[in-house]
Structure 1
Amino acid sequence: MSNNLLKLLFLLTTAIFISAQKKNDFDQACERTSAIMAYKDLPKAIKTADSLYLAAHKPSEKVKSLMLSSELYHHGGDLKKAIYYSENAHSLIEQTDNTEWMSRVCRLLARQYRQVGLYERAKKYIIKGLQASRKISGFQESNEVEGLLNQEMAFYEMEAGNYMNAIQYVEFSLKNFEKINSQNEDRTEAASYQLLGDIYFKLNDYDVSENYYRKAEDLLRAGSCTLGLVYNGLGGIRVKQKNWKDAELYLKKAEKIADTSRSLKLKKAVYSNINDYYEGIGDNFKASLYAVKYVRAYDSIAARNQEFSVKSKEVSGKMSNNGQMNMAKNSAIIILFVSLVGLIIFFRTRQKRQLSKLRTIIRTQGNIANENRIPLLRQPLNSEFSNISVEEIDEKDSETDRKRNDSLMTSETEAKLLELLEEFEKGNLYNNKGMSLSFLAGELNTNTKYLSYVINQHKSADFKTYINRLRINYIVDKLINDEKYRQYKISILADECGFSSHSKFAAVFKAVTDFSPSAYIKHLDAENQSDKNVYFRENNKQ
């Protein structure tokens, strides 16, 4: 008989006769199932967890077995079932006064809802968990759970773009972890440092960002998902610094972990940075390959979240098949039903909002010409595509240079250059594939520093973002006003407005408009014919 089978029989025996054993034996069975069998035979681990639930007598033991099942499904990538078990555990723990396990269940639910994109629901559980954690009598347990919940709140604030708040919550979590002595302390502390590295990266403070990534790296074991995010962050910094040799080194390490990981978030982040790396060194073929990988990872996340929102009945049979019938079942089903109805309403509302946004873009452009100044189409601050550049155009100036230029350039020169840019926007020179800061400066008979300054000050964008918004505006204008463009292949549209690849154009089009090119064209065709003759002022040729 194999060792694995012996272990399984031992665990099943432990579950069946649990009533005659101590609580520590039950906990030990849960831990063994989680730590050993999940990685060797996940289906058997799930069956063992179900058996543990059957053998449990105390509410706390039932909660632990439900959380074990949730973690196992989570490990297997089935977040829908994972949340189902977590919600069952939450419904049970509410019938007790066990603040420690209430905190742990809330933290698990907060993490799972965050990973399916339901941030406000995640925040609700974070707040509830924090309130419970402060009532835990054990000093170490209280700080451990509170630290994890502060970490979750930092993720929430980061997703909302509140970086200073996110930093504050990460610092809270680190203070909590300093007070405890746990075998998981290094891993949880490393996750906080990695999160700080991400935040400072977004704030463009690369020295501080790298310092935190290094702290996380020192605490992590090889192959962990968090270490993959650390290597990806270090690679991203090197890409920004145009240190291509070191960037390749770190991104290869990150890719090795990402390719063997179940984490779509890690895959998406790594493929995005590798795409930027190949764009930076001018390898358009490989850049296109990773753009496709990135879009696939992004679409997989969207599909997983959508699947979670629309399927409501698949899991309910599992509990009955494995005998998990108890006094909490009815209330758990009610909670699940209400949750799923809420999710369906949420996604349908969001879909309607997106369609409304598209119609607004199409129907209101005719009124834009009457306004004095019109902003370019903007990429949302918290867009999933915030780490993607459309075309890598060398144009970086430091803040010091910009301030110095401000003092050297006369107001007349600035006004003249702004006037020339307005004329530039009315043409289509920005679609030139050779477009660069130096090229445009030559066309406008000025220098790159003056041009960069005026674009940053008056167009609220750096040079590459400015050019790429013009390109997207141009092609959207063509799609709206000329039906033949809707019949073109995406690769032709990409070439028309100066993009180097089909995949890059598709990714950025979605980043700017919230729709893929094909979805955008489909919605345009569905619009009333009276809405066709609209245009973007910036591309209006007079």
Structure 2
Amino acid sequence: MKIIICFSMPKSLLKFLFLLATAIPIFAQKKNNFDLICERTSSVTAYKDLPKAIKTADSLYMKAQKPSEKIKCLVLSSELYHHAGELKKAICYSENAHSVINKINDPEWMAVVTRLLARQYRQVGLYERSKKYIIKGLQASARITDFQKSNEAAGLLNQEMAFYEMEIGDYPNAIQHIESSLKYFEKISSYNENRTAAASYQLLGDVYFKLSNYSDSEDYYRKAERLLKNGNCTLGLVYNGLGGIRLKQKNWKDAELYLKKAEKIADTSRSLKLKKAVYSNINDYYEGIGDNFKASLYAVKYVRAYDSIAARNQSFAIKDSENPKGKDNKKNAQMNGVKNAAIVILSISLVGLFLFIRRKQKKQRSKLRNIIRTQLNMIGKRTHYPLKKSGDSEFSNIFVEEIDEKDSETDRRRNDSLMTPETESKLLELLEDFEKGNLYNNKGMSLSFLAGELNTNTKYLSYVINQHKNADFKTYINRLRINYIVDKLINDEKYRQYKISILADECGFSSHSKFAAVFKAVTDYSPSAYIKYLDGETRSDKK
């Protein structure tokens, strides 16, 4: 369960109006037109038309004459931008208000603005900067002469300090600060006393939940619940906490009840952290009851909230890390320029390389597709594969399985005039029949072995193969073997599941490596690449 605070616009503006009404003595006097417009902008216009309220606040600042009026307008603008979700602008206006206060040294406004800055910086993850403003605010609250205002400011700032301690994991200190805030709130009486005390009880519930003390955690959540009204953002956190306790207890029925209440508030809230915490717990709930589909839906919601918070916080972290010194900024700018140029050049190079590889792969795929389809057409016509000429550039690197006996060009020429046309024709017919079988897969295949099978001599056989098959005996046999295994791979998908060594043995090769070398020489592809592409073609054809 995430420990967070949420910001509700209506309550925040009511509180702001209270501060406007009590922060400085002039507010107790008869209100002038400037004060009336400020109050109307914050309490009425903001509900109906937020952009108009922001524009009015900016116009009021331009008309402001006194420092207190300028501060009032800046704080109003900060609150409005905060409500709109534009935290950068909200912090900018708060910082400007802080600068004005430093000039007039007003402890009441200092306590108000430093707490506002502490909360805003905490919400974007800049905890040390938040702590700096909390300490400054506590010092200012001690100098406020009005007893009630002093105690309220100190109580709220102790709440903020508790958040800081919780973020760094120091829960005992967090408890001390929350208890201090409650003591300060007991000393005051105001219309928002219940709400501020409820926020402290809710925080205590979160801390004890973190400490796995679920009994005390629930007690504090219950105290907060009794002080809050329906729809309050803090109440959403209370219900989420109670639902988290029930999840730990595996009480799924009650967990669902509380989490539904929390979700109803979260869905209408602008607080990303509230949404994130609630969606996380609901995801855990559906995981617990085994509803994976709904669990996945809330996981997506959680990730969206998480990403939004991370993106917002990252932009502040980058801004915070910038060097404020002009000279260093100039140097950094130059370095950034060099880095950016290098990144652009590298990106262009990578894109070029990517396009080159894609183009090459496309050509290879096109070539392989043509080979496969040609083979499929040939198989459909029930004929043997055509054998490429050895002089073809595609096979200039051909490597063949070594076979014991070698034929020679000298023998071919010597026997050219000794064989009759009838013998040559008959031998061609026998070779056609030989190609239709699978005797060439015999591991003992050699020129003399085949000559014996065809009832001829090695010289005639060598001549006919060289003359009519456009290859020597080694290349001729190896191509027949590769065509055979390609036929199997195309027509029988089970062969694609075999190891390469089994395929090599199937078509008569003595080793995996020799088979792979010959296969690549004939097809220009390794056996594994060929099989992968065949599988892809099969899936494509089925679609």
TM-score range, shorter chain: 0.5 to 0.7
Q: Which has the larger displacement, 265-274 or 279-288?
A: 279-288
CA shift for structure 1 position 262: 0.7
Matched position secondary structure for 1:182: coil
Are 1:171 and 2:179 counterparts?
A: yes
Q: Indicate conservation of the 8 Å contact 2:142/2:150, yes or no.
A: yes
Flag the 1:337–1:126 CA change in 2: closer, same or farther, 3 A: farther
Q: Indicate conservation of the 8 Å contact 2:126/2:317, yes or no.
A: no
What's the counterpart of residue 59 of structure 1?
A: 67
Q: Distance in 1 between matches of 2:198 and 2:32?
A: 29
Are 1:152 and 2:155 counterparts?
A: no
Matched position secondary structure for 2:104: coil
2:133 aligns with one of 117, 125, 136: 125
Q: Indicate conservation of the 8 Å contact 1:134/1:142, yes or no.
A: yes
What's the counterpart of residue 196 of structure 1?
A: 204
Q: Distance in 2 between matches of 1:125 and 1:253?
A: 35
Flag the 1:45–1:200 CA change in 2: closer, same or farther, 3 A: same
Flag the 1:197–1:297 CA change in 2: closer, same or farther, 3 A: same
Q: Which has the larger displacement, 217-226 or 123-132?
A: 217-226
What's the counterpart of residue 234 of structure 1?
A: 242
Q: Which amino acid aligns with 2:131?
A: K
What's the counterpart of residue 110 of structure 2?
A: 102
Q: Which amino acid aligns with 2:270?
A: R
Flag the 1:31–1:177 CA change in 2: closer, same or farther, 3 A: farther
CA shift for structure 1 position 55: 2.3
Q: What is the TM-score of this pair, normalised by structure 1?
A: 0.53
Structure 2 unaligned segments of length 5 or more: list them.
1-25, 337-543
Q: Indicate conservation of the 8 Å contact 2:115/2:137, yes or no.
A: yes
What's the counterpart of residue 292 of structure 2?
A: 284
Q: Distance in 1 between matches of 2:234 and 2:74?
A: 26
Q: Indicate conservation of the 8 Å contact 2:159/2:181, yes or no.
A: yes
Matched position secondary structure for 1:181: coil
2:283 aligns with one of 250, 275, 285: 275
CA shift for structure 1 position 310: 4.8
Q: Which amino acid aligns with 1:166?
A: A
What's the counterpart of residue 263 of structure 2?
A: 255
1:46 aligns with one of 44, 50, 54: 54
Matched position secondary structure for 1:204: coil
Q: Which amino acid aligns with 1:294?
A: Y
CA shift for structure 1 position 282: 1.3
Q: Which amino acid aligns with 1:80?
A: K
Q: Distance in 2 between matches of 1:239 and 1:295?
A: 20
CA shift for structure 1 position 54: 2.0
Q: Distance in 1 between matches of 2:168 and 2:324?
A: 27
CA shift for structure 1 position 222: 1.3
Matched position secondary structure for 1:94: helix
Flag the 1:25–1:185 CA change in 2: closer, same or farther, 3 A: farther
Are 1:302 and 2:331 counterparts?
A: no
Q: Distance in 1 between matches of 2:244 and 2:237?
A: 10
Q: What is the TM-score of this pair, normalised by structure 2?
A: 0.53
CA shift for structure 1 position 181: 1.4
Deviations 1:334-358 (A, max 9, x none): 99999xx8xx99xx9xxxxxxxxxx
Flag the 1:200–1:275 CA change in 2: closer, same or farther, 3 A: same
Q: Indicate conservation of the 8 Å contact 1:84/1:336, yes or no.
A: no
Q: Give the % identical residues.
A: 77
Q: Which amino acid aligns with 1:88?
A: N
CA shift for structure 1 position 229: 0.6
2:150 aligns with one of 142, 145, 148: 142
Are 1:75 and 2:83 counterparts?
A: yes
Q: Distance in 1 between matches of 2:39 and 2:153?
A: 18
Q: Which amino acid aligns with 1:110?
A: A
Flag the 1:37–1:226 CA change in 2: closer, same or farther, 3 A: same
Q: Distance in 2 between matches of 1:40 and 1:107?
A: 27
Summarize the alignment of residues 386-397 of structure 1 with structure 2, pairs less than 5 Å apart: none
Query: How many residue pairs get matched?
Result: 303
1:223 aligns with one of 221, 226, 231: 231
What's the counterpart of residue 187 of structure 1?
A: 195
2:301 aligns with one of 281, 288, 293: 293
Q: Which amino acid aligns with 1:134?
A: A
Q: Indicate conservation of the 8 Å contact 2:279/2:298, yes or no.
A: yes
Q: Which amino acid aligns with 2:91?
A: I
Q: Indicate conservation of the 8 Å contact 2:182/2:200, yes or no.
A: yes
Q: Indicate conservation of the 8 Å contact 2:134/2:160, yes or no.
A: yes
What's the counterpart of residue 112 of structure 1?
A: 120
CA shift for structure 1 position 28: 4.2
Q: Which has the larger displacement, 217-226 or 66-75?
A: 217-226
CA shift for structure 1 position 309: 4.4
CA shift for structure 1 position 240: 0.6
Q: C-alpha root-mean-square deviation of aligned residues, in Å? A: 2.7
Q: Distance in 2 between matches of 1:24 and 1:335?
A: 44
